[in-house]
Amino acid sequence: MTLTLLIEQILNGLQFGVMLFLMAAGLTLIFGVMGLINLAHGSLFMVGAFACAAVAAATGSFWLGLVASLAAAAAAGALVEILVIRRLYERDHLDQVLATFALILIFSEGTRWVFGSFPLYLDIPQLLSGAVYLPGGAQYPIYRLAVIGVGIAVAVGLYLLIGKTRLGMRIRAGESDREMIGALGIDIGTLYTLVFALGAALAGLAGAMVGALQSVQVGMGEPVLILAFVVIVIGGIGSIKGALVGSILVGLTETLGRFLLPHVFGLFMPNSEAATVGAALASMLIYIVMALILAFRPQGLFAANA
């Protein structure tokens, strides 16, 4: 194990973390403002990936595909909120879980009907197709660094939106006392639709960027959704800052765990056994971290509205 390889894995963990942040930020916004458990959030991740792949294939431009992913996911999110989610706000969480699980099936089968069962592939744009040199001489893809940069930019943008704008003030008020802002004449329905569309657009953006690193296929959003829920539980439900810190923590724990644990066990076990045990423990590591954090801070690392 060399320093260069360790730096590369840390960057991979950061890249994975900021992708999780794009998912978790929208998810925690939706739950914080609306009190809604949205299991279909991963489907919006998939919609963004397929929209980007389809438009990029038709036009030859990844950048147009990226714009299409934002538009398609936001439009799908707004449509779902108006037609389905709006009827669930006063229902209990079990009804919300059942309804949004049904939406997963509808999105998955609808996507399979439109695009087929075979995966699509996205090419990394020429502008970001090179690599940079890490200390020690190893190369690291520029595209992965760009994903990290986009995640940081989105985090800053959300901070400014939530903390410095009129819309952000209404979102924060909606988290605290939705009845009062309704009494003050603010259209709650429109606010909820905007928040849901914003969360959906962030998920679609994550799907589009990840689509260039792996295949775009039906069901690709569900594994990411599970980790996004872990992120918001660790960070604190309703907290954007918590979503950022939690996503980076989960990304680094997942990546470095899979990289370091086999080496650690290899110090006192045969290599084949060390690889098996290390991989098994690495898959549980983020849940162990979550349990330890919740044991000491049941509300997560940051309180809501942080």
In tens, the pLDDT along 5-15 reads 888 889 999 99
Identify the band that residue 75 occupies on the pLDDT scale cut at 50, 70 and 90. Answer: very high
Taking residues 93-102, report their average pLDDT: 88
The residues, ordered by sequence, that sit 6+ positions from 304 with a Cβ below 8 Å of its Cβ are: 32, 175, 236, 237, 238, 239
Instruction: Look at strands 139-141 and 131-133 and give their pairing.
Output: antiparallel
Taking residues 30-37, report their average pLDDT: 77
The rounded percent of the chain whose pLDDT value lies above 90 is 39
Please provide the distance, in angstroms rounded to a whole number, between the alpha carbons at the two ends of the chain: 38
- Which tokens sit at 164? 């410095």
Identify the band that residue 291 occupies on the pLDDT scale cut at 50, 70 and 90. Answer: very high
- Cα separation, 1 vs 112, in Å, equals 43
In tens, the pLDDT along 125-163 reads 888 888 888 777 778 899 999 999 999 999 999 888 888
Which pLDDT belongs to residue 258?
Answer: 84
Q: What angle do CA 189, 194, 197 make, to 5 degrees?
A: 125
Which pLDDT belongs to residue 182?
Answer: 67
Verdict on whether the full-model pTM lies above 0.85: yes
- Cα separation, 175 vs 36, in Å, equals 12
- Cα separation, 211 vs 206, in Å, equals 8
Longest dimension (CA), the chain: 68
pLDDT at 306 over 50: no
- Cα separation, 292 vs 151, in Å, equals 27
Identify the band that residue 1 occupies on the pLDDT scale cut at 50, 70 and 90. Answer: low
Identify the weakest region by mean pLDDT among 17-21, 77-81, 190-194: 190-194
Q: For residue 246, what are the CA distances in angstroms to 80, 83, 139, 192, 212?
A: 27, 32, 28, 25, 24
Q: Which helix (H) or strand (E) holds 133?
A: strand 131-133
264 touches 280 (CB < 8 A): no
Q: What angle do CA 190, 192, 196 make, to 5 degrees?
A: 120
In tens, the pLDDT along 162-180 reads 888 887 777 777 666 666 6
Which pLDDT belongs to residue 178?
Answer: 65
- Cα separation, 19 vs 156, in Å, equals 15
Identify the band that residue 205 occupies on the pLDDT scale cut at 50, 70 and 90. Answer: very high
- Residues in a beta bridge with 216: 120
Mean pLDDT for all residues in the chain: 86
Identify the band that residue 86 occupies on the pLDDT scale cut at 50, 70 and 90. Answer: confident
Identify the band that residue 33 occupies on the pLDDT scale cut at 50, 70 and 90. Answer: confident
Taking residues 17-22, report their average pLDDT: 92
Taking residues 86-110, report their average pLDDT: 88
Interhelix angle for 62-83 vs 188-211, to 10°?
140
